[in-house]
Chains A and B, each alone.
Chain A
Amino acid sequence: MSRLPRLAALGRVRPALPGATRVLAVAGVSAALVWGAGSAAGSLDLAAVSGVTEAPVAPESLATSIDAMCPGDELSGIDGVEDTAVTGRVAAATGPQDLLPVPASGSGSAAVQDGSTTLAQLAGRPDAAGADLPGSGPVALRAVGTLAPAVVAAQEWLSTSADLRGLVTTPCRTAGSDLWLLGGGSGAGRQERLVLLNPGGNPVTADITVHGAQGQVGTPRTETVPPGGRVAVLLDAMAPDEAAPAVHVVADGGGLHATLTDTWLDGSTARGAETVVPAADPGTVQVVPAAVLGGGATLRVAAPGADEAVTSVTLLGRTGEVTTSADTVLTVPADGVGELTLPSVPAGTYTVLVRSDVPVVAGVVTRVGADSGPGDLGWAVSAAAVEEVAGTALPGTPGVTRTLHLVSTGGAVTAEVTVVVDGEPRTRTVSLLAGRPADVDLAGAGAVWVERGSGSGDLRGGVVSTVGEGAQALLSEVPLDPVEVSSPVSRAFPLP
């Protein structure tokens, strides 16, 4: 009896069976497909199967041409002014292959040239070469092809004569169009020579303006720099009485490199010499990464804009920010230059951090030696942050000891530091906390390379070179310049 209602119910349900089965089947098969697609790997390369020739995807574009220049003998080349011969070296180096984001393929060359004369040739990487500084004229670093990425050069001379005393290290740089140079000062026998260098193939016109404590000084001067050549200008002719000059060079029709050589012969006492490279572009934060303090040091700040700049100065030592009771606020007039004597701190290398409400440029001058005796000048200028790779060649001047001073501001960062000693790269990772500089010894190094690692901070560095100790020491400070490794225009390819 009980089967009859069951059969009747089945009879009522039976017409719906196909529909229900369909729904379940579709849902089930779909679920199975989803599961299969999620769990099974594999793909079909139709492009390869069909034999389509695909254009290779261009890898990161390495720099393929570098034209950098060093001033050569800065103390020569001004009409009416007696040349002073210096004896020095110029060194060039290519970075290790590891610095390049992609392997460089093809051929390349890199050479240090004095006009058409090759002074030194680089082959492969890493490599280093050096030569004596020529008697006159600039020194050019020209690299093309595979040797163009991560190639640097620097010149250095050392003089301990009675009328010229100093260790002067100058990195060779590529051209820029808007340059600020901080150097020179008041004092009897103090002389500033501005050397304009044109690495390009066309004549470039330079507009030179000197700024001082009261703003622009004198009338601007215009110089035309021949391709591959240099023009030296005696700054005293433009601003003879300016105690804190800042030189602004604007290039038109191309790019220029410029150096400012500050020599001081106080009577018969040589008080020092230094060649200053352009400071980092104006900004509200300027970092002088490696300034030797402990003696007399002065911060010079120029405010290029139309507004007065109010700056605060912070010194960063090994343990972080240096606390001081001295005045650390400097007001700089619009379009003018201001100076602040840095507080007395234990001798050492410090980072000078300048924060401003308007863009400024900054540099620190360190005076070495007794007040009345011979000494030396060391100009440390603000450095640009290292976005990719930075480096410098280190000329093998006997007796010079060097230290790389790294600092990170605004956050921690890691840096891969490669020191090339006798052609052997030695790489170490340096972890930098924000505001806590670190030193790397560069004894015996022919070049040093810094590659930015991870982190949010702005990485900067400077190399401090010294000869001797105490009051007899000679000092030179150079910023660690970012090095061109890749270039967005070194290789062109058609867009799809």
Chain B
Amino acid sequence: MTLAPPRPADAAPVPAGGVAAPTVTAFVVTHRDPSGLAALLAAVRAQTQRPDAVVVLDRTGGSAVPAADGEDTVTVADVLEDVRAHDLPVTALAVPPRVPVRRALHRAVAELEPVGGGPALAWFLPVGTQPEPDALVRLVDAWRRSPSTGIVGPKHVDLDNPTRLRALSIRTTRGGRLLARPGAGEPDQGQYDAVTDVLAVPLAGSLLERDLLLRLRGWESSFGDVGADLDLGWRAQLSGRRVVVVPRSRVRSGPGAAVTSATTSARRRAARRVALARAPWWSGPFLALWIAVTSVVAAVGLLLLKRPRSAWAELTALTSLDPVRGWRARWRTRHRAAVRRRDLGSVFEPRRAVLTSWGDAVHHALVPPQAPIGDATADLNPRSWVVKVVRHPGVLAVVSALGVAAVAGRDLGLGVLTGLGSGLTGGELVGARTDAAGLWHGWRDGWTGPGLGGPEQSGPWSALLAAPTWVLEHLPLVPSAGSPAGLVVGLLVVLAMPLGALSAYLALRVVSRRRWLRALAAFGWAVSGPAAAAVAQGRLGAVLALVLLPAVAAGLWLLATGRSTATSVFASALALVVLGAFAPVLGALGVVLALGLALVRRGGRVHALLLAGVPVAVLLPWVLRAGATSWPSLVAGVGLADWGGSAPQPWRVALLDAGGAGTPLVWTTAPLAAAGVLALARGWSWRGASAALGALVPLLLALALAAPRLRLGTVPAGVANAGEPVTPWVGTLLLPLVLVLVLALVHGLDAVRPGSLTGRARLGARGLLVTGVAAVLAGAAGVAAQGIGGLLEPWHDPRPAVAVDQAEGAFATRSLFVVPGERGAGYRFVGREDSVLVRSLPETREADAAVASDVTGLLAAVPGSEDLVAATAADLLAIRGEQVPEVVRRLDATDGLQRISPRGGWQTWRLSPTDSDSEALVASPRLRLVTADETSLVVATGAHGATDTRVDAPRGARLVVAEPRAWAEHAVVTADGRALRPVADAQSPTYDLPTGSVHLTVELPDPDLWWHRWQLFAVAVLAFLAVPFGRRETRVVGR
């Protein structure tokens, strides 16, 4: 590198002694019309060092544009004539418009004989660029300073705002990944002025040695524009010539004039192909593999950052791996490299730069940009964050709802909180010791359910509950709960009111921006009568509706008002999916409303169809399967059925009385209903939000009134109200009605602004606000005064600890609970699979019903009835109460039953194996290895006999599974990978085992594996799409 002494920039360089001065020919490339040409030529003419010649490549084909006066038209010839008048040596060279610019330039440069004996330089100026007066002189100066410099490029600044950068150089990795640095629009603060050697510069404004260009055979036209520029610079570097950027030489460029980044997929692909073409032949495959891997990884990353188009563009870069085109380009521009590949390392972007750019992208995506802070937002009286939090209306709404819940729950006692780790029981909650795995297997296994099980899988609610349960189980510093799933359900029920208030407060922002109004409405929603009843009665589906319905309503509101976004639609769809899983009726209602909006709202039809279609697509497989078994169970939802009893009278329903425990006095809920209806008066139009809400009120009321008339089943024996009909709970449909009334109230009161009124109007407005507040407070007072009763209580496992250990351990035993009553002895097997936390519709479990006579025989001490113990792996018999002394006496006298201390009102007996098994086993296990001489334990690791273990099987050994016979149709038992067939006519599923050490597996494959995978995938994608991160302008502006 040669350093030359500094020289005034505004003067033409003085030729060195004995060295001919270079001649500069400016090649001006027109658009397909003459527009912009005159301005460019004026800029050329204004150069402190004028080019020795100007060649205009006329690609206009003679076309004209209107003149400035608007009357005449102007052609290239007219412009040139005008320029020539100013003593600028301009020649025109007509070029067919279809010929690529760079090819035309190459021909023009080749055909133009250099003037004088000095080096010939070509300065390329496409229309759209306007070099500042000293641009050329600085470029030439830079070229002159180093004989090895072959290509010199200027700094491109914005044509209209020269303080912002447009481009500098083409920056790329060895793999051809273009980096947009500086980014378009980045302020020019001199941060790039230290850059000199680069890999390539854009064509616009660049100064090239004519000989170098000819020696390099010009640009490779198959690489497009930026790719061709990159390729030219790359080849120049390989040939031993430097490519230098001169930041002090500024060219003002319009959009698209100087491209240095992969703004299109074609440019991205072209850059990749350049990298492949310029890489050594032996490294081609490796580079191609690297490009493929990084493209896929980048695409995935971009997808995760919710940049689907960019991700697609990344994936399309894979097409650049076409070897034919690469080799063709390599052949056309073949030359011998004068510089070793590794010597060019400094001009490539390091991988670190790529990672840094990705990190920046992630940061921008995850951390939303702050809104511009104006003077108006400056707080002259700044408060501490504590004061801000405490006085935040949303916080107050949530805390108030929590307070009302605490007061209303006074009858529950502290035991509900201290015993929450085991879950709750009472109302619709039945309590069970289960965890995330139990819920998960209940959803996906082929043989599931409590007791002896059955082929009916749990609904998607089970999998949805498993997720938070799993998180809870893995939280650090949190003591392990007796029933993690019960704890999750208990937390949802206990915190339903504050969660509902929080959800409503956030959701109602789509209706009103007045935070206190939203807080009031959110509070009213959370402490409404049906909400309190849902909590008091442990109705999980309704509790979740309390939290999710506002989100769904917000999505529908945005759709109806034409303000929906993709994120809002997907968020609402996700809420609708979860809601539909727990309360299918409400899910269906949401879908119907979305479909209705799709019909009446043309603007948001796609969004409405998405909102309606996504939940259907996710839940339809389950709905169809569950519906084929029992449509009433779908209507019943999760804890949304009324098991007997009398429904509230119609007028009470109309006043938001859901009936049952926790229902406040009807006169305290009536004001909210009245206020909501009165609020529908807002609006001077026959249409609009008020009209839509007004139409929904009678519709939802009609559904609520119809609920008690729909018979879903019959209350079975063994529980209260046996024989009475099971109907949908009225409150399920009162909740959306309450929400509609709350929305109407917010919408109505949002128009009431006393501050903007005077006199009587102001008084009236204040009166309306006070009325709304009073209606909400009346409901809250009613709930607080009435209380939610003492129906709920902590669940306690009735089994003694040893039975629990046996059930959860290798034996996987069950306990048999018997509740004698007027209608007989109700019984239930409780094992490790007991994952039912909330009752739905009474189900007929065939496997459990099939052993009714055996249980009867066991209670009657009928000889042979002890076979039930081994067939069901029962190790504990518990009988409620002492009203059957003859049974107690009978069982006391039965062989194999040892009475142990009573527990929680249950008389208990330990069931031991009899005969020869009594010596080998302490309890009848779920899996046992049976030979002619002995019986031994096989460890059960999963639910319903699932296991993965190794056993030493003697000759003639059989695996006996203490499950119903139908279990064998759904289970896959393998020994050393070989599937075993069940022994015919065996009482329990029995399999002949091969002799020796055997790897034994018992699996219960999911019959709906692909449907379940689809549901998981869909929910994951929905959750991703529903998360509102990203750099959307609306998130900045709309805050």
What residues of chain A have their CB less than 8 Å away from a CB belonging to chain B? 15-16, 18-20, 22-23, 25-27, 29-31, 33-35, 37-38, 42-48, 50, 52-55, 57-61, 64-65, 174-177, 200-202, 204, 251-255, 486-496
Interface residue B777 (Cβ < 8 Å from any Cβ of A): no
Instruction: Evaluate contact between A492 and B824: CB separation under 8 angstroms.
Output: yes
> When A488-B820, A489-B859 are in contact, do A55 and B849 touch as well, CB less than 8 Å?
yes
Among the listed B650, B712, B818, B853, which residue makes an inter-chain contact with A489, where contact means beta carbons less than 8 Å apart?
Answer: B818
> When A26-B694, A34-B651 are in contact, do A492 and B818 touch as well, CB less than 8 Å?
yes
CA distance A487 to B630 in the complex (A): 33
Residues facing A in B455-479 (CB within 8 A) are: none
Taking the nearest CB of chain A, how far is it from the CB of B856, in angstroms? 4
Residues facing A in B182-219 (CB within 8 A) are: none
Interface residue B819 (Cβ < 8 Å from any Cβ of A): yes
A-B residue pairs in contact (CB < 8 Å), sample of 8:
A31-B654, A34-B701, A43-B710, A44-B709, A54-B844, A202-B861, A493-B716, A496-B842
Tell me which residues across on chain A come within 8 A of B820, comparing CB atoms. Answer: 488-489
Instruction: Evaluate contact between B711 and A44: CB separation under 8 angstroms.
Output: yes
CA distance A493 to B822 in the complex (A): 12
Instruction: Evaluate contact between B714 and A22: CB separation under 8 angstroms.
Output: no
Tell me which residues across on chain B come within 8 A of A23, comparing CB atoms. Answer: 677-678, 680-681, 694
Instruction: Evaluate contact between A34 and B654: CB separation under 8 angstroms.
Output: yes
Tell me which residues across on chain A come within 8 A of B712, comparing CB atoms. Answer: 46-47
Query: Which residue, A15, A47, A255, has most C-beta atoms of chain B within 10 A?
Result: A47
Instruction: Evaluate contact between A19 and B681: CB separation under 8 angstroms.
Output: yes
Tell me which residues across on chain B come within 8 A of A204, comparing CB atoms. Answer: 893
Instruction: Evaluate contact between B723 and A27: CB separation under 8 angstroms.
Output: no
CA distance A15 to B751 in the complex (A): 15
Residues facing A in B808-851 (CB within 8 A) are: 817-828, 839, 842-845, 848-849
Residues facing A in B147-201 (CB within 8 A) are: none
Instruction: Evaluate contact between B698 and A489: CB separation under 8 angstroms.
Output: no
Instruction: Evaluate contact between B649 and A201: CB separation under 8 angstroms.
Output: no
CA distance A65 to B886 in the complex (A): 12
Tell me which residues across on chain A come within 8 A of B631, comparing CB atoms. Answer: 46, 50, 52
Hey, what's the 0/1 contact readout for B613-657 against A, CB within 8 Å counting as 1?
000000000000000001110010000000000000111011000
Smallest Cβ-Cβ distance to B881: which chain A residue: A488
Instruction: Evaluate contact between B705 and A33: CB separation under 8 angstroms.
Output: yes
CA distance A166 to B507 in the complex (A): 91
Instruction: Evaluate contact between B825 and A54: CB separation under 8 angstroms.
Output: no
Instruction: Evaluate contact between A47 and B842: CB separation under 8 angstroms.
Output: no
Smallest Cβ-Cβ distance to A58: which chain B residue: B717
> When A26-B697, A33-B654, A494-B826 are in contact, do A255 and B680 touch as well, CB less than 8 Å?
no
Tell me which residues across on chain B come within 8 A of A35, comparing CB atoms. Answer: 650
Interface residue B563 (Cβ < 8 Å from any Cβ of A): no
Tell me which residues across on chain A come within 8 A of B713, comparing CB atoms. Answer: 47, 52, 54
Instruction: Evaluate contact between A177 and B719: CB separation under 8 angstroms.
Output: no
CA distance A177 to B893 in the complex (A): 12
> When A15-B684, A22-B690 are in contact, do A38 and B717 touch as well, CB less than 8 Å?
no
Instruction: Evaluate contact between B718 and A496: CB separation under 8 angstroms.
Output: yes
Tell me which residues across on chain A come within 8 A of B690, comparing CB atoms. Answer: 19, 22
Taking the nearest CB of chain B, how far is it from the CB of A493, in angstroms? 6
Tell me which residues across on chain A come within 8 A of B919, comparing CB atoms. Answer: none
Instruction: Evaluate contact between B694 and A43: CB separation under 8 angstroms.
Output: no
Interface residue B2 (Cβ < 8 Å from any Cβ of A): no
CA distance A174 to B885 in the complex (A): 12
Tell me which residues across on chain A come within 8 A of B848, comparing CB atoms. Answer: 494
> When A42-B709, A47-B632, A174-B886 are in contact, do A496 and B716 touch as well, CB less than 8 Å?
yes
Instruction: Evaluate contact between B681 and A488: CB separation under 8 angstroms.
Output: no
Taking the nearest CB of chain B, how far is it from the CB of A292, in angstroms? 32
CA distance A37 to B714 in the complex (A): 22
Among the listed A33, A60, A252, which residue makes an inter-chain contact with B698, where contact means beta carbons less than 8 Å apart?
Answer: A33
Instruction: Evaluate contact between B886 and A37: CB separation under 8 angstroms.
Output: no
Among the listed B678, B685, B828, B856, which residue makes an inter-chain contact with A18, where contact means beta carbons less than 8 Å apart?
Answer: B685
Tally of B interface residues using CB under 8 Å: 78
Interface residue B279 (Cβ < 8 Å from any Cβ of A): no
Instruction: Evaluate contact between B827 and A494: CB separation under 8 angstroms.
Output: yes
> When A55-B716, A55-B844, A58-B717 are in contact, do A50 and B632 touch as well, CB less than 8 Å?
yes
CA distance A287 to B220 in the complex (A): 119
Instruction: Evaluate contact between B698 and A30: CB separation under 8 angstroms.
Output: yes
> When A23-B681, A43-B711, A253-B892 are in contact, do A29 and B698 touch as well, CB less than 8 Å?
yes
Instruction: Evaluate contact between B860 and A65: CB separation under 8 angstroms.
Output: yes
Taking the nearest CB of chain B, how far is it from the CB of A36, in angstroms? 8
Interface residue B80 (Cβ < 8 Å from any Cβ of A): no
What residues of chain B have their CB less than 8 Å away from a CB belonging to chain A? 451, 630-632, 635, 649-651, 653-654, 677-678, 680-686, 690-691, 694, 697-698, 701-702, 705-706, 709-719, 722-723, 817-828, 839, 842-845, 848-849, 852-853, 855-856, 859-861, 863, 883-887, 889-890, 892-894
Instruction: Evaluate contact between A493 and B630: CB separation under 8 angstroms.
Output: no
Instruction: Evaluate contact between A19 and B682: CB separation under 8 angstroms.
Output: yes
Smallest Cβ-Cβ distance to B727: which chain A residue: A43
Instruction: Evaluate contact between A493 and B849: CB separation under 8 angstroms.
Output: yes
Taking the nearest CB of chain A, how far is it from the CB of B29, in angstroms? 64
Among the listed A37, A47, A53, A61, which residue makes an inter-chain contact with B823, where contact means beta carbons less than 8 Å apart?
Answer: A61
CA distance A491 to B825 in the complex (A): 6
Instruction: Evaluate contact between A489 and B860: CB separation under 8 angstroms.
Output: yes
Instruction: Evaluate contact between A16 and B678: CB separation under 8 angstroms.
Output: no
Tell me which residues across on chain B come within 8 A of A57, comparing CB atoms. Answer: 714-717, 722-723, 823
Tell me which residues across on chain A come within 8 A of B719, comparing CB atoms. Answer: 495-496
Smallest Cβ-Cβ distance to A41: which chain B residue: B709
Instruction: Evaluate contact between A34 and B839: CB separation under 8 angstroms.
Output: no
Among the listed B677, B842, B856, which residue makes an inter-chain contact with A26, where contact means beta carbons less than 8 Å apart?
Answer: B677
Instruction: Evaluate contact between A492 and B859: CB separation under 8 angstroms.
Output: yes
Smallest Cβ-Cβ distance to B880: which chain A residue: A488
CA distance A45 to B856 in the complex (A): 33
Q: When A and B form their complex, which 10 residue pairs have the shortest distance between CB atoms, in order from nearest?
A: A488-B820, A19-B681, A61-B824, A491-B824, A37-B650, A58-B717, A494-B848, A492-B855, A254-B893, A43-B709
Instruction: Evaluate contact between B684 and A16: CB separation under 8 angstroms.
Output: yes
User: With contacts A18-B683, A254-B890, A492-B827 known, what are 12 further pairs, Cβ within 8 A?
Assistant: A16-B681, A34-B650, A55-B716, A57-B722, A59-B823, A489-B887, A491-B825, A492-B852, A492-B855, A493-B824, A494-B848, A495-B819
Smallest Cβ-Cβ distance to A28: which chain B residue: B698
Instruction: Evaluate contact between A488 and B716: CB separation under 8 angstroms.
Output: no
Instruction: Evaluate contact between B886 and A255: CB separation under 8 angstroms.
Output: yes
Instruction: Evaluate contact between B630 and A52: CB separation under 8 angstroms.
Output: yes
Tell me which residues across on chain A come within 8 A of B845, comparing CB atoms. Answer: 494
CA distance A54 to B451 in the complex (A): 19
Smallest Cβ-Cβ distance to A35: which chain B residue: B650
Smallest Cβ-Cβ distance to B821: which chain A residue: A488
Query: Which residue, A18, A27, A38, A204, has most C-beta atoms of chain B within 10 A?
Result: A18
Taking the nearest CB of chain A, how far is it from the CB of B449, in angstroms? 12
CA distance A151 to B886 in the complex (A): 17
> When A20-B681, A201-B861, A201-B863 are in contact, do A495 and B827 touch as well, CB less than 8 Å?
yes
Taking the nearest CB of chain A, how far is it from the CB of B836, in angstroms? 10
CA distance A254 to B893 in the complex (A): 5
Instruction: Evaluate contact between B842 and A55: CB separation under 8 angstroms.
Output: yes
CA distance A35 to B861 in the complex (A): 58
Tell me which residues across on chain B come within 8 A of A488, comparing CB atoms. Answer: 820-822, 824-825, 883-884
Tell me which residues across on chain A come within 8 A of B716, comparing CB atoms. Answer: 55, 57-58, 493, 495-496
Tell me which residues across on chain B come within 8 A of A253, comparing CB atoms. Answer: 892-893
Taking the nearest CB of chain B, how far is it from the CB of A384, in angstroms? 13
Among the listed A19, A201, A493, which residue makes an inter-chain contact with B680, where contact means beta carbons less than 8 Å apart?
Answer: A19
Instruction: Evaluate contact between A175 and B715: CB separation under 8 angstroms.
Output: no
Tell me which residues across on chain A come within 8 A of B685, comparing CB atoms. Answer: 18
Tell me which residues across on chain B come within 8 A of A50, comparing CB atoms. Answer: 630-632
CA distance A490 to B684 in the complex (A): 71
Smallest Cβ-Cβ distance to B748: which chain A residue: A19
Tell me which residues across on chain B come within 8 A of A58, comparing CB atoms. Answer: 716-718, 722, 823-824
CA distance A15 to B685 in the complex (A): 8
Taking the nearest CB of chain A, how far is it from the CB of B715, in angstroms? 7
Among the listed B709, B722, B817, B822, which residue makes an inter-chain contact with A486, where contact means beta carbons less than 8 Å apart?
Answer: B822
